[in-house]
Amino acid sequence: MNTAIQSREIAAPPRLAADSRVSARSPVPYIAFLAVFFLTSLPLVNPWVRGDGVGYYAYLRAIMIDRNLHFDKDWLGANPSFRQGRVDDSGHLFPDQYAPTGYVRNHFAIGPSILWAPFLFPVHAIVLLADHLGAHIAANGYSRPYLVAMATSTALYGFAGLLLAFDLARRYAAERWAFLAVLGLWFASALPVYMYFNPSWSHAQSAFGVALFLWYWQRTRPSRSPRQWLILGLAAGLMIDIYYPNVILLLVPGLEGLTEYREALRPGARATLRWSALLGEHALFLAATAIMMLPIFVTRQIIYGRPLEFGYPSVTTWSWASPALLRILFSSDHGMLSWTPILIPAMLGLIVLYRRDRLFGGGLLLALLAYYYFIASYPDWDGISSFGNRFFVSLTPVFVIGLAAALDWLARWWKNPRQYLAAASAAIALMVLWNFGLIFQWGTQLIPSRGPISWSAVVHNQYAVVPVRIVGSLEAYFLHRGGMMQHIESQDLERLRPGQ
């Protein structure tokens, strides 16, 4: 089943050795710096389950504690803004919250719970033991040990995704630019909100899943053994388990497959043997992907009575003919580029990548465009309650690679290398500072978490309000976080009331 296709177009450039600007130095010092950044950032982890996170976390809690998929307790015990519209004044779920099977409708993906499980099940065992010994810690999945483990593991997965993205990026750029790109996407995008502040949501884990899939796909180019095809399929299935739109990333191996089939048709090729080998490999990949996706199909069958019922609005109601192509980029209502400007050079860098590796660059560009159109066609393309456009956090590894390629390309045109390094570092530092100020405004309700914002108010707050309030708010975040989160939730609930 192993192909011998070694065409120039699909061969992976492991280090771009012909490019003197791509360093062959060990990446260990950069990884050490990233590890230090991560460890010092852990106090930012916010152990709470809120909003969409209620649905993601409910799978693990219900299976681990109740040994079923009944989510009534999770819905009834959720934060007030999540309960609104789901729970009546007498404390009962509205009838429309139940599927015909009698189970609470839960359209959120099970993948995050799969990733949390290796951390939470040992914690559950320890809590049970401690409770048996008289510690009186609630073994309900919502006491502090569970939430700390959930939140910390989310941050760990987010960091692992960044490390994989760094390793990918340094294949196409010098380590310094891959390192700078990781720092930029880590702290100047929406990722930190979902890596630290809202860790029960799926986005940081989704970035990890995408990074793992792309990293292993690149690592095993251009010829894979059956075992490698199997692992790649399992990685693909996990990526989709975490976040359904990640299926679009399969366009990358899909483009690779089309290239290989085209090569097999060239004159002189043993077409029959090569086609049969390719078909066998791709069948193994798809079978492994489908096996890894079984948790999706099983939970859909149990909850909705149909394995392909995902619980989202029917795709026939989506705006396929009139997608929000410009609004999703530039709108004040969580526009992808208006909220996260660092994505502009990151996206342009994918064009540079395409010139260096047509298959990988072309695959990522194709996947990005398809993902962009898909989300722009979704009725709630703005993400409703979102920092920036949270749907694109999944593509963080793609943006890291693109930004690294862009930084590396610009370095060739800058006459003074030290001056360029200083200028690039300063530009990214400014975007990080702006992003932190915007996160502060969003998190403390200085700007609404839902709907459009006023950019004039944002600019005013950045310079006149954030510097004044940030010290006191950070003190409250680290020392009185529970009360601060309750205050934020009450403000959010106030905004949701009719007439507000």
Q: Within 10 A of 369 (CB to CB), how many other CB atoms are there?
A: 13
pLDDT digits (tens, 9 = 90+) for 468-497: 999 999 989 998 888 888 888 888 777 776
How far apart CA 449 and CA 60 sit, in angstroms, is 27
Report the candidate in 52, 74, 54, 51 with the shortest Cα–Cα distance to residue 62: 74
C-alpha torsion angle, residues 410, 412, 415, 420 (rounded to 10): 40
DSSP string, 97-121: GB-TTSSBP--S-SHHHHHHHHHHH
Taking only the tens place, the pLDDT of each residue in 443-458 is 999 999 999 999 999 9
- Tell me: the pLDDT tens digits for 82-106? 999 999 999 999 999 999 999 999 9
CA-to-CA dists, residue 176 to 26, 332, 408, 411, angstroms: 11, 33, 9, 11
For tokens 């803004």, what's the residue? 81
Query: For the segment 34-47, what is each residue's pLDDT rounded down to a tens digit?
Result: 999 999 999 999 99
Q: 222: cis peptide before it, omega within 30°?
A: yes
Task: Match 């859909």 to its residue by tokens.
Answer: 300
Question: What pLDDT shows up at residue 490?
Answer: 83
Per-residue model confidence (pLDDT) at position 140:
95
Please report the sign of the dihedral spanned by the C-alpha atoms of residue 9, residue 15, residue 16, residue 17. negative
Q: Which amino acid type is present at position 456?
A: S
pLDDT at 499: 52
Taken as a whole, the chain contains a residue count of: 500
- What is the distance between the alpha carbons of residues 232 and 256, in angstroms, rounded to a whole number? 14
Percentage above 90 pLDDT, the chain = 82
> What pLDDT does residue 263 have?
82
Q: How far apart are the first and last CA of the chain?
A: 63
State mean pLDDT over 371-396.
96
How far, in Å, are 322, 380, 458 from residue 318 at the CA level? Answer: 9, 9, 31
Angstrom distances, CA of residue 470 to CA of 18, 431, 448, 457, 467: 48, 18, 18, 17, 6
Q: What is the pLDDT of residue 267?
A: 67
Classify residue 480 by its DSSP letter: S
Residue 19 has pLDDT above 80, yes or no: no
pLDDT > 70 fraction of the chain, expressed in percent and rounded: 93
Q: Encode pLDDT of 225-281 as tens digits.
A: 999 999 999 999 999 999 999 999 999 999 999 998 888 777 665 666 678 889 999
pLDDT number for residue 149: 98
